[in-house]
Amino acid sequence: MNTLHNVLVTGGAGYVGSVLVPKLLAAGHKVTVLDWFLFVPVVFEEFSQNSNLVLIKGDIRDEDTIKQALAGQDAVIHLACISNDPSFEMDPELGKSINYDASLQLFRLAKEMGVRRFIYASSSSVYGVKDEDKVTEDLSLEPLTDYSKFKAMCEPELLAMASETFVPLVLRPATVCGYSPRLRLDLTVNILTCHAIEKKIITVFGGDQTRPNIHIDDMTDLYVKTLEYSDEQIAGKIYNAGYDNFTVYEIAKMVQEVVGEDVEIIRQDSDDKRSYRVDSSKIKRELGFETKKTVRDAIADIADAFRAGKVPNALTDPQYYNIKMMQQEKQPA
């Protein structure tokens, strides 16, 4: 495969996409973003004169829109979805229509229209809660929520389409953390950092639950690399993508250390004992992918962004919280 590509990024205006798209452009790719653009439509303003970036405001459920977006593409990085449990549960039918039905249609049309490579953003939450210390890719999937269930159901559908000319890859990212111009403050590390800065108090419910994490820079570097690996390296593969597993209390302690010792941590009892950890040694072993950044880096990056005034009204502006945006925009354009 050549190193330069026409790449479609669905959901490219989201938290991960907003960091990924500039990296793809910097790597010399021609990028098309298909997104609802519900969140911060100005996110790519600085690239408005860049002829290598095409923005399509549309819905991945719409077949004509998909065909327009897929025309001439070499690769698809499929990020668009209702991307957390509360947003999904707010409207399960909408969630299924996007995360499952539209994804299957996208897989099929991509293959039919000659797209060579398809990267699917699944999630490490597909495993559910496991007793095993090392949650590796070969373990059974026991998703606990519909969001995770439909992620899990998409994976085999995509991989079954693999052929000489269609190279699918499934990534199961850990929870992403760190600053993005389309910041999400509904993710563990990000929300704890926000509360430490804005309220000087972090409330930890339980705290012994383990969470896998990956810095947004590492996650987006990996997506860029997925366009560089050979077909043989990635065809039909599934990889966990995580940096490290920490308990929520350990994350809170790191936040306190980075943001300031005046931050108070309050622990409260919780019935939510869901604890999961993923093992990401396979991607290191087979693709040589290693993370470079830490959770501590992510906390420091977010703290810097707050200090620079890049996160105004962090506790109240719905743009930082997918569920609040969904409530506001129940009927997207």
What are the residues binding ligand NAD (CB under 6 A)?
Answer: 11, 13-17, 34-36, 38-39, 59-61, 79-81, 83, 98, 121, 123, 173, 175-176, 184, 187, 322
φ, ψ dihedrals at 160, nearest 5°: -65, -15
The angle subtended at Cα 16 by Cα 253 and Cα 150, nearest 5°, is: 95
Report in angstroms how near the CB of residue 308 gets to ligand NAD at its nearest.
Answer: 21
Q: Which two tokens stand for residue 233?
A: 């390296």
The Cβ of residue 169 has, within 10 Å, a number of other Cβ atoms equal to 24
Question: In the bound complex, what is the minimum distance in angstroms from residue 16's beta carbon to ligand NAD?
Answer: 3
Rounded to whole angstroms, what are the CA distances from 116 to 19, 55, 76, 138?
Answer: 24, 21, 9, 26
Report the residue number, 13 or 135, with the smaller CB distance to ligand NAD. 13
- Beta carbons within 8 Å of 199's beta carbon, 6+ residues apart: 315
Smallest distance from the beta carbon of 200 to ligand NAD, in angstroms?
Answer: 25
Distance CA 234, CA 116 (A): 12
At 62 the three-state DSSP class reads: coil
C-beta of 126 vs 254, nearer to ligand NAD: 126
Q: Which of 18/256 has CB closer to ligand NAD?
A: 18
| 265-273 long-range Cβ contacts below 8 angstroms, 24+ apart | 265/201, 265/202, 265/204, 266/201, 266/202, 266/203, 266/204, 267/203, 267/204, 267/206, 267/207, 268/203, 268/204, 268/205, 268/206, 269/205, 269/206, 270/205, 270/206, 272/205, 272/206, 272/209, 273/206, 273/209
Question: Nearest distance from residue 269's CB to ligand NAD, in Å?
Answer: 26
Which contiguous run of DSSP H or E holds residue 108? helix 103-112
Number of neighbours of residue 58 by Cβ within 10 angstroms? 19
Of 81 and 314, the one with the shorter C-beta distance to ligand NAD is 81
Kindly state the helix (H) or strand (E) to which residue 70 belongs, with its residue range.
helix 63-70
Closest CB to ligand NAD: residue number: 14
Distance CA 207, CA 188 (A): 11
Q: How far is the CB of 98 from ligand NAD (least distance, A)?
A: 4
* Smallest gap from residue 264 Cβ to ligand NAD (A): 26
Residue placing its CB nearer to ligand NAD in the complex, 108 or 267: 108
Nearest distance in Å: CB 80, ligand NAD: 4
Nearer to ligand NAD, 214 or 234 (CB): 214
Q: Which is nearer to ligand NAD, 59 or 89 (CB)?
A: 59
Closest CB to ligand NAD among residues 185, 259 = 185
Grouping H, G, I as helix, E, B as strand and the rest as coil, residue 174 is coil
CB of 260 to ligand NAD, least distance (A): 25
Question: At its nearest, how many Å lie between ligand NAD and the CB of residue 261?
Answer: 28
Facing residues of 53 across strands?
Answer: 31
CB closer to ligand NAD out of 85 and 231: 85
